[in-house]
Structure 1
């Protein structure tokens, strides 16, 4: 089976009888270059680029078995299937540990093959949110279950470092491994950092990137939870005002983390790996 649909909770969705997925075609990511022409300067000034969208196409092969009414019922089941979720996570069965978040918004119509019981269908999808592939699992899955190359959930080509599958720490200096090829940016990607029973004031620094989160007021034994750009105390109180309002990202490979001035029992990092 060339590709598999999953619901928002990563549960596999079965195809109705007679509907066979053929291929899942994904383009490279479009870039939008930021530049400006300035008088007196040859050429232009390049300010870099933003990643935009990528094209996604799903192809199906359909076959009905019991006359024209069965063909109409099969198409009805197909239309319902592709409209059954607000979005789908789709995995290529040849690389099953990674998924892309896709919505189906455009019209589509199966094309009958010469009055036979067979039809072909091509469906255009739209990538929802970030244009990157991500792993089905997160780093806390690796922490909890440990890595095994024999387990389909953990891909053998996902950049997992078998010497760095630990993502919960009690030390004040340690390294967090990002096995993807995309920087995990908490402003627009999943990155959960939880620090337990925090006391005092101090800082959490990613020495690899130079980013630093300062805790400027005593947390008084509460848990510190960072969910993207939200900073929460254990009582669900917004804790952003008790910090310098900065965040740390995780670049591909090793990220050297240093904690100063804070007492805590443990700190955990939970995120998927992202790929271009």
Structure 2
């Protein structure tokens, strides 16, 4: 059988254990299109009796639907049913998995198949459509900010919010800036964000001057101690210090976020580890 064309829409499935399945290369499937639907906004209103209209109280985005149009190519009848079974086995998994397309190899979608499908057989070929749901509602960068920002790292692509000026995510000064190359704010309630402070301090405060977020710790650290803000948890040397903080969180706006630390003592290092998130 001739080699299956690798279209821009071709994708590979990446499971939690690191194993992958490529639709064209492994399953002889031509992916004709891969189309993420537009974000689905949920807007919330409150009606106050005796007043006109309603008050807008909030907005968020729901599940994203992604549709892939595919064609299976088999060598003969036996191969057709073998490939069909392999496709079903690859897609119908209980855990969610990631999809990475040929056109955007440095971005991934966390998805699961949301409906059944039938392969419309014509001889040794068969057409079928796959409906995916992305519960997060957005794509994320393949790399994290503590991965090397080099081309041979196979993690980044210029144009996805990045330029040839390499941002730094580890700093040793009290004033610095952190760049969020995505178009989605990073909120540790919803997505991974790890901030690590190594060094001495007294009443340490971390302020994002761009968003106005301030995190404070009413304690001390020595030069060998490490404070970690891992999503909503705060620890010192792996022991919770949440009760000794102001119980606030640090978020990151898209673009540059300007930070200021206070309460530092002597030499220190602070690092930010997160992914970039995209609406499309």
* CA deviation after TM superposition for structure 1 residue 91, in Å: 2.2
Kept after mapping to 1: 8 A contact 2:43/2:59: yes
Partner of 2:130: 123
Partner of 1:97: 106
Distance in 2 between the 1:157 and 1:8 partners?
A: 28
Q: Secondary structure at the match of 1:140?
A: coil
Alignment of 1:155-194 (within 5 A): 155-194=157-196
Alignment of 1:203-214 (within 5 A): 203-214=205-216
* CA deviation after TM superposition for structure 1 residue 19, in Å: 2.6
Kept after mapping to 2: 8 A contact 1:199/1:222: no
Note closer, same or farther for the CA distance 1:10–1:170 as it changes in structure 2 (3 Å cut). farther
Of residues 110, 121, 134 in structure 1, which corresponds to 2:119?
110
Q: Deviations over 1:65-118 (max 9, x none)?
A: 132x322211111111113572221123222211111012422221113xx111
Distance in 2 between the 1:224 and 1:152 partners?
A: 30
Kept after mapping to 1: 8 A contact 2:108/2:141: yes
Alignment of 1:197-236 (within 5 A): 197-220=199-222, 221-234=224-237, 236=238
Partner of 1:257: 259
**Higher alpha-carbon deviation: 265-274 or 6-15:** 6-15
Q: TM-score, normalised by structure 1?
A: 0.89
Kept after mapping to 2: 8 A contact 1:35/1:47: yes
**Alpha-carbon RMSD:** 2.0
Kept after mapping to 2: 8 A contact 1:164/1:177: no
Partner of 1:13: 21
Distance in 2 between the 1:88 and 1:218 partners?
A: 42
Higher strand proportion, which one? Answer: 2
Distance in 2 between the 1:60 and 1:181 partners?
A: 30
Q: Deviations over 1:185-208 (max 9, x none)?
A: 011111111111343222000011
Distance in 2 between the 1:53 and 1:7 partners?
A: 20
**Higher alpha-carbon deviation: 263-272 or 3-12:** 3-12
Distance in 2 between the 1:222 and 1:35 partners?
A: 47
Of residues 124, 130, 133 in structure 1, which corresponds to 2:139?
133
Runs of 4+ residues over 6 Å off in structure 1: none
